[in-house]
């Protein structure tokens, strides 16, 4: 076993991913009166699990389809709706990927959108943009695993389901996400070698400079990661596969200085493994995932 294999196994254990890649994950239609135009409302079903994962599926026009596909993960907000309709952070990224010829599956993460749980007393927040991350983080930790691990598991099942769709090349399924979705994208690509390429936006910096120093949602906490595995150590597990990182020059919660420092450590890892060098796209703004250049780079790699 190589050092990378040992680190990957350790990361899986910390996330509570004791099972292998789901076998038999598939998509099924899901009734939803609020499905945006151009999207299909589906559910990701995994054998042995009673509850499916709500998701939106978007497909390109047949003449534009490239065979590539992406699991697109939302950050904090309304969940998958923000990936399809313009908002202040995601800017309808799913539609941009579809326009580039890719099939896109947007799984709803635990505590976002349609998967918000009731607060103590039984009430679910009325505002769909209000997450229940703090409650869900505590619930999962009480059961011995972080909520971030459950999100990674759901995204992993989404990738498996995508590979079964007609017109999708099973070898060309990637993952993308920003902020909390960027955390899922980074971790999924690190623990799952079958992910062909990854785009991590407005998240990659260092735990020391961000999660451990600046106020963040408790759903980001994965007990035991530090000091053993910093963000750069986790990203290194993606090599030699393509990795694109997007960051905001003025991001107040993921400092750009830490991003540049951590990114500088990745080059030698990819050189040693012979893969295409990771790419860092720095946008002028703050904490926002626009994908003006990073989505093109991801599409080119897939």
Boundaries of domain holding 98? 3-301
Residue 288 has pLDDT above 90, yes or no: no
Structural domains in the chain (count): 1
Q: Give bridge partners of residue 245 from the DSSP assignment.
A: 200, 280
| DSSP one-letter string for 93-152 | HHHHHHHTT-EEEEEPPTTSGGGPPPPTTSPPPSSTT---HHHHHHHHHHTTS-HHHHHH
pLDDT in tens, 222-253: 888 888 999 999 999 999 999 999 999 998 98
Contact 241, 189 (CB under 8 A): yes
pLDDT in tens, 59-72: 999 999 999 999 99
What's the CATH number where 22 sits? 3.40.50.1820
pLDDT in tens, 127-157: 555 566 655 555 555 555 788 999 999 999 9
Average pLDDT of every residue of the chain: 88
């Amino acid at each position: 076993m190589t050092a990378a294999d040992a680190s990957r196994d350790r990361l899986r254990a910390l996330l509570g991913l004791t099972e292998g890649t789901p076998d038999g994950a598939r998509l099924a239609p899901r009734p939803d009166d609020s499905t945006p135009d151009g999207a299909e409302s589906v559910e990701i079903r995994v054998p042995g699990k009673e509850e499916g994962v709500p998701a939106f599926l978007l497909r390109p026009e047949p003449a534009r389809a490239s065979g590539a596909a992406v699991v697109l993960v939302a950050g904090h907000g309304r969940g998958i709706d923000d990936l399809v309709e313009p908002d202040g952070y995601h800017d309808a990224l799913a539609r941009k990927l579809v326009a580039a010829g890719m099939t896109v599956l947007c799984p709803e993460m635990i505590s976002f959108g349609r998967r918000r749980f009731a607060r103590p007393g039984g009430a679910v927040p009325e505002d769909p943009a209000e997450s229940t991350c703090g409650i869900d983080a505590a619930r999962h930790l009480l059961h011995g695993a972080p909520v971030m691990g459950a999100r990674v598991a759901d995204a992993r099942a989404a990738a498996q389901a995508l590979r079964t769709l007609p017109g999708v090349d099973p070898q060309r399924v990637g993952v993308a996400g920003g902020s909390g979705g960027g955390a899922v994208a980074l971790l999924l690509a690190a623990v799952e070698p079958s992910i062909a390429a990854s785009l991590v936006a407005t998240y990659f910096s260092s735990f020391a400079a961000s999660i451990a120093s600046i106020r963040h949602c408790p759903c980001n906490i994965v007990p035991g990661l530090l000091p053993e595995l910093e963000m750069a150590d986790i990203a290194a597990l993606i090599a030699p596969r393509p990795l694109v990182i997007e960051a905001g020059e003025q991001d107040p919660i993921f400092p750009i200085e830490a991003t540049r420092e951590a990114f500088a450590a990745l080059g030698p890892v990819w050189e040693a493994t012979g893969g295409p060098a990771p790419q860092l796209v720095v946008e002028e703004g703050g904490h926002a995932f626009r994908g003006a250049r990073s989505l093109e780079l991801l599409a080119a790699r897939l």
